[in-house]
Chains A and B, each alone.
Chain A
Amino acid sequence: MLGTGLLQGLRVTARNLVGSFHDPKRFVTTQYPEERTKLPEAYRNFPFLVSESAEDPMGTLRCVACQICEKECPPQCIYIEKSRDKKPDANGKMQIFPAVFDIDTSVCMSCQICVEVCPFDAIEMDQVFELATTNRFEGLLLDKHALAKPNSYFHGIHPTEAAAVDGRLAAARKASEEKARAAAAAKAAPKPAPAAPAAAPAAPGAEAPKPSPPAP
């Protein structure tokens, strides 16, 4: 009979219409902004700079202004100026820090390459997307004060990845401390042959490829 295809289609539409009143699989709209969908942990949108402590964000930035992220950024939206002097970082070591660190979020495409290439785990991906502003140039150009967020925030948004990063940094710190201790012991010992270092020193993430954390 002509029209059976149409009737079958109408049956499908009716099933969806009626189902949308009681079946959550049929009615999938989230009434944003009153309801919000829970974002997956791996979701990324715009980077931020990691500070070790929340009380002194500028003084404990992990970033040492090596400018690798600036070079690798595909749309060239990062702008860094190195500082002239050195300042003690979170571990007490004297380090150069970024005097200027700007990210133009109107250009950034959230590709995550800056995060992948950073040897110091200083820049990570944030999850903010409600960034509407009325000024197109200053409002979307984030400087280091707007970008710096504490490590506790990082744990809040990406717990698995933050735990992996902390583990890696702690292991690197421990290895370099042991290496320093072994070198000091070797220098203090009277024997001409130096003592073998206790643990094989691991490079602090500079050359080794970063093992990526699994997504949930």
Chain B
Amino acid sequence: METAEQIRDRLLARFPGAPVAVVANPGPGAQHSLLLGASHAADLARFLRDDPGLRLDFCSNVTGVDWLDREIAEAAKPAAPDPAGAPAMEAGPKAARIQPGYLEVVYHLYSMALKHGPVVLRLRTGNRSDQVTVPSLTPVWRSCEFQEREVFDLFGVTFAGHPDLRRILMWDEFKDHPMRKDYSEPDDYEWEPTPHGEVLPKARRHYPAAPAATAAKEGPAP
């Protein structure tokens, strides 16, 4: 099977100017992936499915990943020495660069016809708040239908072109997206107290004032 670079070159030959890049995967797994831009994603996916050399007709897995904003601290530049001989001023504050976060959808493709794989595709959203739409690949591979619904439900990525985009695991009226890294669970849901239950004191704030007798029966406090 071709490597990720070879597939990228063929894609660029067929769709010149399409946003395709190879994302290297460190570690022994070495499953390098192709980062696709939103504009051509569906056409590129269809090409990968129908191309006689690849025949990637089986979309095995669709995953959502949440990448938070990252702070990348850069080393501060040393201050220039004063020509008058005064003691050197302290270096300025460290320039911290924020790499904005985004949501990512990863597709693992295999070929049932030619029995090879995987080819990994990645689609990234603009940011985590308002630009969260990516094109849906359900018209290309039917198996994305439920899995993209799950990514929508748990991460909040909207898939343009999905035939039936609604929540799948959480109930329909649920707000928020649980698998995001900054999701904070509500502090008043029903919970079994365990020796480590920090939830119990959080939940107690929502209860009416409990009498002293009930508090004594609860067992050892964490």
Contact = CB atoms under 8 A, between A and B. Distances in A.
A136 to B, nearest CB: 9
A146 to B, nearest CB: 13
Nearest to B196: A76
B173 interface: no
A79 B193 contact: no
B103 to A, nearest CB: 28
A77 B220 CA distance: 13
For chain B, what secondary structure do more than half of its interface residues adopt (helix, strand, loop), or is it mixed?
loop
A178 interface: no
Contacts of B196: 76-77, 79
B194 A77 contact: yes
B193 to A, nearest CB: 7
Interface residues on A, range: 10 to 19
A107 B191 CA distance: 12
Interface of A: 75-79, 100, 102, 104, 106-107, 137-138, 141
Interface of B: 192-196, 217-220, 222
A75 B197 CA distance: 11
A102 B194 CA distance: 10
Contact of B192 (A79, A100, A102, A106): A106
A208 B219 CA distance: 38
Contacts of A104: 194-195
Contacts of A107: 192, 194
Scoring A78, A106, A137, A138 by chain B CB atoms within 10 A of each residue's CB, the highest score goes to: A137
Given A79-B222, A137-B217, A141-B219, A102 B193 contact: no
Contacts of A78: 195
Contacts of A141: 195, 219-220
B219 A77 contact: no
Contact of A138 (B195, B219, B222): B219
Contacts of B193: 137
Nearest to A143: B220
